[in-house]
Structure 1
């Protein structure tokens, strides 16, 4: 059971998709549908396995490499539109997140969001789930830095903006890509794996399947 101590920690950095909001199944179901229409047959769970934790630019490159042709901008726009509609209909907060945020605040710790997603996407997902007000002004996107995860740039940028040393940060992540970036930033990482899939087992990090398994003292 991961233990966060206030004498060793100043900042909790949350990933967004899959950590704060339960968007991965929704987004990847839509992604799989749109990729299938391009000619690459795919299911939602396959999209999660291939693309979880990746930027849209990285996803585009993977699709273009597989199909040997560029993706039309109309395809990207159609995907984003369908993704937004699915989120507006079905998006929920990850179980236990509201309680964890409350406990972080009660302990006097700072918190922020560092996501591969765009600011526009996070404004929708965090807004729909009532989390925007919890993090407004402390939301950082991979588009803010030169290199997305798994580079450490985004996490280091978040620490700088929050005026906290990386050694005093804890990152909560749900993808191997994000975990690699946090470890590269020399930050402590807690992996969130609600399905207990084992895919996050790297670098000896602590892994939880429930947010209430994280203790703050």
Structure 2
């Protein structure tokens, strides 16, 4: 293994949550008077922390989202997760192999700790991720594309940035990993390869990842 730490993004990499959350986000923004299609949401918000949604809406419209926006949105998302959420194909297998080989790994997500845990419980991935392996943008204040979250995860795991690799499926996440001076493998199952420019390597099937990392 050429890396001392594998840092996984969560949404779209470990759990197949991006279609659910972006569908609901587009619907909620539209409901609030900010017409947004599913494709718009994927393009503008996929991989971002909640504060970026607030910032972009205010920047574009001059209006603030409601104070309870995050709470209402998360309630809708968590309810949908309970009904629909599945692990990304191959996610359990690659994490199990890393664990068996003794390779340190963790998750660093734009989502809240609660969102990460809800998704992991529903998909059965919680057995592989204890509290010491879960990092959220809420821990650092600035989400992706800032490098803060990945740098924080590496520091907490005791690994220098150049010995880390990030597994990401969003342009913002790739930008954050590059800014953190980490290698980044771009997962193209949902994101066109051209939008992950800057990735060290691209791959389409999570089942390939363990072999690619060696």
Instruction: Settle same-fold status: TM greater than 0.5.
Output: yes
Q: Quick check: which one's helix share is greater?
A: 2
Tell me the equivalent position of 2:67.
73
Does the CA-based 8 Å contact 2:170-2:196 persist in structure 1?
A: no
State whether structure 2 residue 181 is matched by structure 1 residue 186: yes
Q: Give matches, 1:118-197, under 5 Å.
A: 118-136=112-130, 137-195=132-190, 197=192
Candidates 197, 207, 214, aligned match of 2:202: 207
Shift of 1:152: 1.4
Q: How many residues align?
A: 211
Structure 1 segment 7-26 matched on structure 2, within 5 A: 8-26=2-20
- Secondary structure of the 1:73 match is coil
Alpha carbons 1:11, 1:170 under 8 Å: kept? yes
| 1:76 Cα deviation from its structure 2 partner | 3.3
Quote the Cα distance in structure 1 between the aligned partners of 2:191 and 2:71.
34
C-alpha separation in 1, matches of 2:112 and 2:178: 22
C-alpha distance in structure 2 between counterparts of 1:80 and 1:122, whole Å: 11
Structure scoring higher RCO (CA < 8 A, sep ≥ 6) equals 1
Task: Name structure 1 gaps, 5 residues minimum.
Answer: 1-5
Which stretches of structure 1, 4 residues or longer, exceed 3 Å deviation after superposition? Answer: none
Contact 1:191 1:200 in 2 (8 A): no
Asked if 1:64 is matched to 2:58, the reply is yes
Q: What is the 5 A alignment of 1:93-132?
A: 93-132=87-126
Q: Distance in 2 between matches of 1:91 and 1:205?
A: 29
Change in 2 beyond 3 A, CA 1:154/1:76 = closer
Q: TM-score, normalised by structure 2?
A: 0.92
Matched residues in 2 for 1:135 and 1:75: separation?
Answer: 28
Contact 2:174–2:196 under 8 Å retained in 1: no
TM-score of the two chains, using structure 1 as the length reference? 0.91
